[in-house]
Structure 1
Amino acid sequence: MTLDELWFLATEAEQRAEQAYHRLTERHTEFLEFTRNYEVSRGRFRTLANRVSESGAPYGAHTIVYRPSRELLLVWHAGVDMWVLPGGGIQADETYREAAERELGEEAGVEADYEGLAIATRTAIRCGDYSTWGVLPVFQACAETTTPTLCDPDGEITDAKWFAELPENTRDREQLVKWREEKFSSRA
């Protein structure tokens, strides 16, 4: 891919992200918004820009699953060596929520009652002079079944656990702490 093609891909991805973000946020109210910035290699930039141009989301869709006891479900992602929210890539025929539900089933085997969008993160991606962005939708759901069962077809997820206190090595820990504070602040 030549540099001009990379610029075109970044522009195309940005347009798709804008459309996806507006469609997502106009359907939901009362969600948190964040911005994350990533500086990546040229190859990784191309991969992420392609994902954004296809779905609007560079990292797929995820779910914050909670129990009434305020515990959150996290899965261990061996590839990033961290606790993360269940979630992943979006297939061509899926909505963000459908992808989040499928990924929850694959990675943790937990059924949950989806309540809506919890977090919309604007994910800015840069490689030198090239930049684009995508949305990272995170839905919230109350667990209906609480015993995790791993069946990840990718083999990246090696454990799933409930946490009352989030481990330090939790990806996007600050966002999850803020979400939990806001979610449960009205429930004293």
Structure 2
Amino acid sequence: MTSERIAGRVGPEIKQLLDSRKSLFLSSITKDGAPYASYAPFAMGDECFYVLLSEIAVHAVNLQVNPVASVLVIEDEDSANELFARLRVNYQVEAHVLPVDSDEWQFGLDQLTGRHGELVRNLSQLGDFKMFRLEPISGRFVKGFGRAFSFSGKGLLGEQIEHMRDGHKKREQAEA
């Protein structure tokens, strides 16, 4: 199956998952090279994620020092059919701090306000909050056991998507 046909099939499912969640898990890297997991409310636009983070928060500091991060959007465990195979999409992203007086800042602010309400606009008025655009580089969409898709290139669906067919393998039995 071609990449376009796969994207046409799973693209709407990825969009539905992204639309159904209000926050994402964010894994950043500290200045010492240690991983740091957190979360943030998000919005989407221009094939990117937008997050408004206080520079007091560890993840905001990390993204400014090392702009490479990972984002996870995952089905709620309370509504999942199978806890071990929750619907999820993971992205490797590049983080960009947007200048406060830029059109990009305003676009991100409008997207976040539209999704999360006026509190976002109020927070944006505080001097310690920064707007980050998280640009996907690659990703993986998992629908369940043996139903995973990888994608590469920019955008929420990447430029190339393929079904991962190598799948799970049974553990070999030890010989007596």
- The alignment's TM-score, normalised by the length of structure 1, stands at 0.27
The structure carrying a bigger helix percent of its residues is 1
The structure carrying a bigger strand percent of its residues is 2
Larger RCO of the pair (alpha carbons < 8 Å, separation 6+): 1
